[in-house]
Chains A and B, each alone.
Chain A
Amino acid sequence: MKITDLPIKELEKEDKREILSACLSRIKEVEPKLHAFVTTLTAEDVEGKGFFDSSFQEVAQNDKGGSAEDSPLQGIPVGIKDVICTRNLRTTASAKMLDNFVPPYDATVVKKLKDSGAIVVGKNNCDAWAHGSSTENSDYGVTPNPWDLARVSGGSSGGSAAAVAAGEVPYSIGTDTGGSIRQPASFCGVVGLKPTYGRVSRYGLIAMGSSLDCPGPITKTVEDAAIVLNVIAGEDPKDATTLKDDSGQARMTTDFTKDLNKGIEGLKIGVPKEYFGLGLFDEVGEVFKQSLLTLEKMGAEVIEISLPHTEYALAAYYIIMTAETSSNLGRYDGVKYGFSAKNSKDLIDSYFKTRDEGFGDEAKRRIMLGAYVLSSGYYDAYFMKAAKVRRLIHDDFIKAFEHVDVILTPTAPTPAFKIGEKADPVSMYLADVFTVPVSLAGLPAISVPAGFSTDKLPIGIQIIGGHFEEAKILNVAHQFEKATGNEEWRKYKPKV
């Protein structure tokens, strides 16, 4: 097996410089076709720049006999979605507005990774401001799907998922607001974990919907997702939402790998009946049914459940998310950083021109919609209404978890769609119909590869857990991965 095909777990034995050089060569080879990165680093960058020195010194130290704080991420390359700030490394959010933005600080996730010796080798492409479900909305061009270059990689973390699928990096960090880790993971045939809201710090994210945004890992295996979560999870005084859980307790982190090998006999899996009227593509339904059979054979019990407010989730999401987006994008005024329009006559005029020229179509649409639902006269009818429906959606899940351990759904209603296929905003929004309710409820969920369509496109399933039950969904996902490990489709490789 090539070094670029190996998961993190198996890279431990490999020479760290060889891993890096294999990844950089692979990036060089496939980037002209894949465009999974906005910014990539060369070997010279990695060796020469101050922000990598520390990890290499630790690696060097390690070569001479190991260090006490040996992390499985030591010396392992990683791709970071370009909405996550990296000190001294350009961070654009795939938006022209931030084309020249070089953050003076690291996001907490990045800092934790670097402290573990991880080596950032580039910034992954995404939909501009993470607004989208296909990366077609990137101001730097689309990231096609490694399995079929005529199709999208999904989004918004499409570059992050494509880079892992194509072997450019062993893992990457994406962000998920309404499905942006899980849906591209499903489209690209990799594992994508959205942690519980507040499990991983949002400090240093270019914010979209602050009550929804979650950074998380995209990996080749479930075990790798647990390994990465071990490093990035935890309390952060810089993000107050990481501090306490529902009962006011500090959110304890745990070793997320510890339950991976537990059996799942007697596990109760809930399948929400409402999810099957939502435009599910036949082949996705077929893969989903097969997955349920597999889990049943392993001793799990499948129970039909009801999440009665499911059909209102997308509508509530598009109100809440755009309201938060319009507020978060208020800071881009051409004064403090990023793009600033030329030829404005005074300060107010420069705001209007900067924001007209700097924002693309989807960002403007979300800003306008957000401003509308928050404006006086409409606030109660839209924003408050959506916030109330959000509670009903949340309560549906909480009630369901009184009877089941995890909930299983397809990750997306279809496999990867064709580039240019979804032209109107509402049809693009529907790509997130299975992932959005989970985001509104702040729950953890993982997408794992579960099969392929007849034209060899990956299809994922989503395993949803109760708040802070990442260990449980990782356990189920890992057991599922093991049980399907010898199936024919596991041997498929992306064409790129």
Chain B
Amino acid sequence: MVGKISKEEVEYLAKLARVGLTEKEITKYQKDLADILGYVEKLNEVDTDKVEPMAAGIEQRNEMREDKVEKIEGTPAELISEAPKHEDGFIKVKSVLE
């Protein structure tokens, strides 16, 4: 595991997570992430060779049900109206391709 986080790593993570960061923020998160990762490093003391990972505190299994259309209280118009930009019942976004 790593003890230090490089500027490039923070920039790479920010890109993966689609978060724009300022230079100042990058420096700050370099330190914060290194601190927290330093703290969680103690997990390496635990022998987990024969341990199965656990996804939730209670074992989960797939639950199947019929895929039925259900009425909800909200209307499609209400849903669309929550979008920051919309027109004629459609959500508007900036251009995807040049």
**Which A residues form the contact surface with B (CB < 8 A)?**
87, 101-106, 196-198, 211-212, 237, 240-241, 243-246, 248, 309, 311-312, 314-316, 318-319, 326, 330, 333-340, 344-353, 355-356, 359, 364-365, 367-372, 375, 381-382, 384-392, 394, 424-426, 439-443, 467
Contact = CB atoms under 8 A, between A and B. Distances in A.
Nearest to B84: A340
B53 A391 contact: yes
9 contacts: A311-B42, A312-B45, A314-B39, A336-B91, A364-B19, A369-B36, A390-B53, A391-B52, A394-B54
Contact of B53 (A312, A326, A388): A388
Interface in B65-81: 65, 72-75, 78-79
Contacts of A391: 51-54
Given A319-B40, A368-B33, A347 B82 contact: no
A104 B82 contact: yes
Given A211-B56, A335-B91, A355-B19, A365 B51 contact: no
Contacts of B20: 352-353, 355-356
B46 A392 contact: yes
Contact of A346 (B18, B22, B96): B96
Contacts of B16: 371, 375
A392 B84 CA distance: 45
Nearest to A101: B82
Contacts of A392: 46, 48, 51
A372 B33 contact: yes
Interface of B: 1, 9-10, 13-14, 16-22, 25, 29, 32-33, 35-37, 39-46, 48, 51-61, 63, 65, 72-75, 78-79, 82-85, 91, 93-96, 98
A368 B29 contact: yes
B77 to A, nearest CB: 9
Nearest to B95: A346
Contacts of A355: 17-20
Given A364-B25, A426-B35, A246 B59 contact: yes
Given A340-B84, A389-B48, A441 B63 contact: no
B37 A347 contact: no
A350 B43 contact: no
B46 A350 contact: no
Q: Which of A104, A394, A439, A443 has the most CB of B within 10 A?
A: A104
Q: Helix, strand, loop or mixed for chain B's interface?
A: loop
Ranked 10 nearest A-B pairs via Cβ: A442-B57, A104-B74, A387-B53, A340-B84, A356-B20, A352-B20, A391-B54, A388-B48, A240-B63, A211-B56
Contact of A211 (B57, B75, B82, B84): B57
B57 A425 contact: no
A95 to B, nearest CB: 14
A425 B35 contact: yes
A248 B59 CA distance: 9
B94 A389 contact: no
Contacts of B45: 312
A20 B91 CA distance: 40
Nearest to B58: A442
Contacts of B40: 315-316, 318-319, 382, 386
B86 to A, nearest CB: 10
Contacts of B93: 335, 347, 350
A344 B35 contact: no
Contacts of B78: 104
With a 10 A CB-CB cut-off, give which of A103, A196, A382, A388 has the most chain B CB atoms: A388
A241 B57 CA distance: 11
Contacts of A389: 43, 46, 48, 51
Contact of B55 (A369, A387, A439): A387
A428 B27 CA distance: 21
A340 B35 contact: no
Given A326-B17, A387-B54, A337 B82 contact: yes
A176 to B, nearest CB: 12
Point out which of A241, A368, A369, A392 has the most chain B C-beta atoms below 10 A from its C-beta: A368
B43 A385 contact: yes
A267 B63 CA distance: 37
A133 B39 CA distance: 18
A336 to B, nearest CB: 6
Contact of B98 (A87, A346, A375): A346
Nearest to A345: B94
Given A335-B84, A345-B94, 10 more contacts: A241-B58, A241-B60, A315-B41, A359-B19, A364-B29, A365-B29, A368-B33, A382-B1, A388-B52, A425-B36
Contacts of B1: 381-382
Nearest to A316: B43
Nearest to A426: B39
A176 B39 CA distance: 23
A439 B57 contact: yes
Contacts of A367: 17, 19
Given A196-B58, A426-B39, A356 B21 contact: yes
A237 B65 contact: yes
A176 B95 CA distance: 40
B63 A244 contact: yes
